[in-house]
Structure 1
């Protein structure tokens, strides 16, 4: 999942939001569709969609559109397997591949 310093920064930035951590935790129990997930997390579907898009852009979750038995389109999300083991050595290695310039805002 994380191969470069830029990937690591993107993943850590994505997971720095408590809502997104809760979404990943909820999806760790299995795939789910947006409406049910929003109810379970007690957040609006609109807010959930924002967080799901960011998680998907970072490669942490993936989605698939499916038709229900009554023909209704439902978007299901699931967690992509990932692991980040942070050590000083890993961070030193990742820092060597950063393309973000020092001192520039992200």
Structure 2
């Protein structure tokens, strides 16, 4: 994205990533701070496998980032956190973004 104006492809990826109730809940949960996969799955009441699918989509769109950390007891823990973002969606934004669509 350049100067806060998303490209067409960026806007499509962002809107597609947020077009799921599960992914909206994941972003909302991570807005409160970073969390690791197992705890996040428990908090959201979904399986870790389903959560991983949604986290991968959110990470691919740039809405979340992840880091693998080792706990004190030597257990690998995959942490995710939301990346601050803001999109002002107007007809003009969509019009500008549409001129750079590659697909």
Give the TM-score range, shorter chain.
Answer: over 0.9
Give me the TM-score of the superposition, normalised by structure 1.
Answer: 0.91
1:20 matched to 2:23? The reply is yes
Q: List 4+ stretches of structure 1 deviating above 3 A.
A: none
The superposition leaves residues 33-81 of structure 1 with CA deviations (integer Å, 9 ceiling, x where unpaired) of 0000000000000000000000000000000000101010000000001
From 33, 44, 48, the counterpart of 2:47: 44
* Consecutive unaligned residues in structure 2, runs of 5 or more: none
> How far 1:3 moved relative to its partner?
2.5
State the TM-score, normalizing by the size of structure 2. 0.94
> Partner residue of 1:73?
76
Q: 2:10 aligns with which of 7, 25, 29?
A: 7
**1:86 aligned partner:** 89
Say how many residue pairs are matched: 100
When the two chains are superposed, the root-mean-square deviation of aligned CA atoms in Å is 1.0
